[in-house]
Amino acid sequence: MQSHLDQPAIGVDLGGTNIVCAAVMAEARIIEKHKRPTEVPKGVEQVVANIKQCIHEVLRKAHLSLEQISGIGIGSPGPLNTRTGIVINPANLHGWHNVPLRKMIEDEFHVPVVLDNDANAAAYGEKWAGAGKGVDNLVVFTLGTGVGGGIIMDGKLLHGPDDTAGEVGHCTIDYNGYQCKCGNRGCLETYVSATGIVRRTIEAIRQGRDTIINKMVEGDLNRLTSKIVYEALEQGDALACEIFEETGRLLGVGIANIVNTLNPEMIVISGGVIQAGEHLFRPTREEVRRRAFEEPTRTAKIVPAQLGGDAGVIGAAGILVQHLTLKTPTQKNHG
């Protein structure tokens, strides 16, 4: 049993644009990685064929036979069902409806396969091998185009009966606030996602704020991205600095809610925005101290993610390893 779990696992990060597969050692080190386009417009069968090809390719590059791996963990866009292994109808896997992805991969490779959503996989990666290594109660906030996350309690991902738990970006921080894509108003996501950062920057510029950002986008605010705001920050632009300060404070409101509700040991923040370092983390921590109860605030370390873009593949492999570890020995007879 121990030798079995010491075998490498394959992690799959299925995205709307690319598929990334990696062979990951039990101690969470990537041996080999392979990436290829997802090709969503070509249809479900082609995407699944691409996943299989990507797994075969990483096995080939790592000189691994199927007998030498413990299994395959897949992180996919949700909604999905972790128990049945079915991907329901993700917005960025257009055309997918109730695809039995786990079974399709099991039928090809005949090894244990687990399926979880991409945000959970990335969160579990940080727990298994990144900022949260050794920590059993943590919450990950992933700031990108939207704001996702994952909740790990007692070392395990919190899924909920519908596998929808962990949507920390869709907590209201102002019930009269901005309209969110999800239909709600004032979600944390509307403030601190890349979209939220751009919107707040444009609002400030339209109010007449002086900034080098105007020049950087050559006067065309439609070209503004959160990356440009970050570049302006690096050049010492006062508005960009304020925008990141405000982002940190608003993120702190959302984190304070989680600190008061769940009393986690750690909050991990991931996404490109963490490049801003203390410009983001200082106001975030200050706001949490200002808002949440003292004791859980002292406990909850607020730290940047460590795995970057690899969190998803590493975490997918990690979920497979945990799944095998938690299973009874009699069921661990694959490979």
Name the residues that contact its own copies, by CB under 8 A.
79, 137, 151, 153, 158-168, 170-176, 182-186, 250, 253, 256-258, 260-265, 290-293, 295-296, 299
**Shortest spacing between CB 272 and its own copies, in angstroms:** 24
Q: Which amino acid is at 220?
A: D
* Contact present, 259 and 267 (Cβ < 8 Å): yes
CB count, 10 Å around CB of 63?
A: 10
Nearer to its own copies among residue 260 and residue 306 (C-beta): 260
Nearer to its own copies among residue 72 and residue 262 (C-beta): 262
**What distances in angstroms separate CA 320 from CA 28, 100, 245, 334, one per listed residue?**
12, 17, 38, 13
Nearer to its own copies among residue 300 and residue 305 (C-beta): 300
Element (H, E) at 81: strand 80-81
On the question of a cis peptide bond just before residue 79, with omega within 30 degrees of 0, the verdict is yes
Query: What is the distance between the alpha carbons of residues 306 and 191, in angstroms, rounded to a whole number?
Result: 24
Element (H, E) at 9: strand 9-14
**Shortest spacing between CB 259 and its own copies, in angstroms:** 9
CB count, 10 Å around CB of 292?
A: 22
Residue 67, CA atoms < 13 Å, CB-side half-sphere = 0
**Shortest spacing between CB 257 and its own copies, in angstroms:** 4
Backbone φ, ψ for residue 77 (5° rounding):
-60, 145
DSSP string, 14-56: E-SSEEEEEEE-TTS-EEEEEEEE--GGG-HHHHHHHHHHHHH
Residues found in the chain: 335
**Shortest spacing between CB 17 and its own copies, in angstroms:** 24
Nearer to its own copies among residue 111 and residue 258 (C-beta): 258
Which residues, in sequence order, are bridge partners of residue 150? 140
**Shortest spacing between CB 140 and its own copies, in angstroms:** 13
**Shortest spacing between CB 255 and its own copies, in angstroms:** 11
Nearer to its own copies among residue 51 and residue 259 (C-beta): 259
Nearer to its own copies among residue 59 and residue 80 (C-beta): 80
**Shortest spacing between CB 266 and its own copies, in angstroms:** 10
**Shortest spacing between CB 182 and its own copies, in angstroms:** 7
Q: Residue 15: which of 165, 117, 126 has the closest Cα?
A: 117
Q: Residue 182: which of 164, 162, 201 has the closest Cα?
A: 164
**Shortest spacing between CB 298 and its own copies, in angstroms:** 8
Q: What DSSP character marks residue 79?
A: S
